[in-house]
Structure 1
Amino acid sequence: MKIVGLETLEADGGYRTCSYLKLRTDEGLVGWSEFYDGFSGGTLAPLIHSFGRHAIGMDPRQWARVSENLLVTTRLVGGGLSHQAVAAIENACLDIAGKALGVPVCRLFGGPLRETVPVYWTHCGSYRVRHAALYERLGYEPVRTLDDFTRLGREALAQGFRAVKTNPVYFGDAGPVMFNGGFRIGAGVLERSIGARELQAIEDQLLALRAGIGPDCGLMLDLSFSQRTEGYLRIARRLEPLDLFWLELDVRDPEALALVRSGTRTPIASLESLHGLQEYRPYLSGRGVDTAIVDPLWNGVHQSLRIATLADAHETHVAPHNPVGELGNLMSLHFCAAVPNLRIMELRPDEAPWTRSFVTHPPELVDGALRVPDRPGWGAEVDEDALRAHPVRRA
């Protein structure tokens, strides 16, 4: 079997573009993967096509060989978008390999180790602030006050979620504003520091969510790249009485991350923006995190499982970074099903509703968990007619 062609497809996902890779073989099998094409100033699709030219003629059932050979060509410009482009191809190869054997992808790695995977509601409330107009058009209740965070907490609890994660939201005279995560141009992106007023606002927001979810549901806060070391420590120490499930943050310094973790009782999760074993190694050996976050779409599921094994050797949990669509959910599910050291899986339950039609068998949320698919490959096909019915709206 050989790879003979590839194409990228996209569709409107509401506040984002949904992006997919379709890999074709000479035996008629097709492999799919989902990728992100909007997290940086550049676009990923042209890079996928560039690396795809090298993959033509390779056997997709030898997914590790395909992945390693393509990664070799990135050594002078390793990581980043190059790694993500290779990951998209690797993941489509895994879909083909599973289909060729008639087994789900997790079976290729000895899974499933679990039949269901617990999930948490990510960006709970904060994205309804960031994309307020869209969510109101979709019929979701808006978030305009702290009481709305309490209401959302009750909704999450009613759906069985094991934990919820939000981002800082500041309420002012002009209405609520989601914080700058430190990776987009805007106010505070260069200073990356926090004041007493913002600290109090974060604490108030989390207390409002806690009032909704109760004492037994996990509570998380995601700070992204918004602070330097001093700011992360101030926030982590301030929030210790709230007994967070984890405080999530990003910093490109293994020693700084280890300093934050050792300086607080609050559990620390991080590393979602890293690529490959070599980038993860100093953070794990430096004991910088309680939970290592790994992105199966950015690293490839095969490469992500290697990272999870390294984390397991350091007695560290892993959790997938998974902020996109239904095929991405399925890909993360197979990663979660194949690792022994899983903590919990990220899920965004309030995506634009039509995006569920983009795959033939989207996963179902039952009592705060997703069932691991037992169909071949990822367990679903991409519905190209559904994609065409929702063309991307260019700004």
Structure 2
Amino acid sequence: MLTVDTERPTTSAGRISKVETLTLGTTWRDFSFVRVHTDAGLTGVGEITHPYRGKQTCDLAVSMAKRHLLGADPFDVEEIWLRMYQGDFLRGGDIGGIVVSGIDQALYDLMGKALGLPVYRLTGGACRASVPVYANGWYTGDRVPEIFAEKAKETVARGYSALKFDPFGAGLGSLDKTELRLSLDIVAAVREAVGPAVELYVEGHARFAFPTAARLVRELEPFDVGWFEEPLPWTHIERYAELRQRASMPISGGEHFHNRHEYARLFASNAVDIIQPDLSMAGGYTELRKIAAIAEMHGMLVAPHNSNSPFCTTASVHAALGLSNLLVLETFDGLLEPFVFDALPGTLPITDGRVGLPERPGIGVELDDAVFAEHPPTEGFWNMFAPGWEKRESS
């Protein structure tokens, strides 16, 4: 099971003959991709972006290809997934999880191209005609209520009906009275600016001790937020259920888990109301559908995390279309420079806060190598536990 079987009949995609990686530098973060070639002349693309460890994910993708991919039939996605996870002794973790996720995307891209079908036709079809998305990254600038309010109005004017933001600055563990008041004033200003019809999601970035998180769920109640995301560190996962009992709004989380095995404690403790698996971290299409199915068994909704490139937005739309318990999909697309879209021709547009059905075979996005060459990696870093991180200016 854990070795490449070259004796089986080959499908129309051929067999994997080469794996390469490319990285695009932007002012926010580097976006990394894996491109898988077959001897039938097809290529498949997946995203392997890590916000700070791009070189490591690229190196691992190439080395894992030598061990597990070369000579394999890309249609054998379940076996290849197991070969990478079990055969490489990954056992989870961010770098390995991201690489497995990106390669899995590339295999589905290859299958779709070989069959002439969009990927969503291979992952359960469509439960809906379009996918609702919410905007993140829109609040770059000074951390004052007036700035947040103005940027929120601008984002809604672009057609978004749901926004997510972190009002808490560099807070960690607890908030002093001044910081608490400023954070709540920011939420109040955004709610007043956009009105009651716009959905607001508040981000906690998994950083508050229980007493602070418990106070925040009380203080946020008047603002009718759609969820409070990751209010506690995941080292305290069992306390999430206790916090849910105190909260009037849903609690969400799970973006940093890399497969169903890492999700096991979250499900066992009923830690959240809404899970947030990331297609480029949680194991790709093969694993995300399994995680979503387990969530459905627990009465949980799915709101996929997506802080990566527009490629991942389009790839995630394929996955989201077939999820019966989908709530909404995240996007940072509005934060990015125009050349990012030039580098990724074929990404789907966001119109009035939704993304429509993909039509092209596979994921439908290619990589423009020339644009990548013009924008090499920057290896930038922004520390979200330092004052001013919300400006997202790499150092």
TM-score (norm 2): 0.87
Deviations 1:349-374 (A, max 9, x none): 12122101111212111111111312
Match of 1:251 among 228, 233, 245: 233
Question: Counterpart in 1 of 2:325?
Answer: 341
Specify the code of the residue in structure 1 equivalent to 2:275. A
- Distance in 2 separating the partners of 1:41 and 1:160: 32
Does 2:363 match 1:378? yes
Residue 279 of structure 2 is aligned with which of 296, 313, 320?
Answer: 296
What is the correspondence of 1:5-84 to structure 2 with a 5 Å cutoff? 5-39=18-52, 43-53=56-66, 54-75=68-89, 77-84=91-98
Shift of 1:77: 4.1
Q: Residues 394 and 202 from structure 1, CA distance in 2 versus in 1: closer, same or farther, beyond 3 angstroms?
A: closer
What is the match of residue 221 of structure 1? Answer: 202
Q: Please state how far the C-alpha of 1:157 moved relative to its aligned partner.
A: 1.9
The match for 1:314 is: 298
* CA deviation string 1:22-48 (max 9, x = no partner): 111010100001121324598311111
Task: Give the whole-Å Cα distance in 1 for the aligned partners of 2:183 and 2:36.
Answer: 45
The change in CA–CA distance for 1:394 and 1:267 in structure 2 (over 3 A counts) is closer
- Deviation at residue 394 of structure 1 after TM alignment: 5.3
- Of stretches 341-350 and 80-89 in structure 1, the one that deviates more from structure 2 is 80-89
Counterpart amino acid of 1:242?
F
Q: Deviations over 1:134-165 (max 9, x none)?
A: xxxxxxxxx46421211112112212212111
| Count of aligned positions | 362
Q: How does 1:200-279 map to 2 (within 5 A)?
A: 200-249=181-230, 251-252=233-234, 253-279=236-262
Contact 1:359 1:382 in 2 (8 A): yes
User: SS of the counterpart of 2:179?
Assistant: helix
Deviation (angstroms), 1:109: 1.6
Change in Cα spacing, 1:10 to 1:120, as seen in structure 2 (3 Å) is: same
Which stretch of the first structure deviates more once superposed, 271-280 or 23-32?
271-280
SS in 2 for 1:321: coil
Q: Is the 8 A contact 2:30 2:54 kept in 1?
A: no
Unaligned runs of 5+ in 1: 130-142, 170-177, 181-187
TM-score for the superposition, normalised by structure 1: 0.87
Q: Would the alpha carbon gap of residues 165 and 394 (structure 1) be closer, same or farther in structure 2, given more than 3 Å must change?
A: closer
Tell whether 2:108 aligns with 1:94: yes
Contact (CA 8 Å) 1:18, 1:36: kept in 2 or not? yes
Equivalent in the alignment of 1:164: 163
- Asked if structure 2 preserves the Cα contact closer than 8 Å seen for 1:285 and 1:314, the reply is no
Equivalent pairs: percent with the same residue? 29
Contact map agreement 2:16 2:37 (CA 8 A) in 1: yes
| Structure 2, unaligned runs of 5 or more | 1-13, 381-395
The 2-side partners of 1:353 and 1:381 are apart by 16
Cα distance change on mapping 1:40 and 1:179 into 2, 3 Å: farther
Quick one: distance in 2 between partners of 1:270 and 1:307? 13
Which residue of structure 2 lines up, in the alignment, with residue 392 of structure 1?
Answer: 377
Q: Secondary structure at the match of 1:44?
A: helix
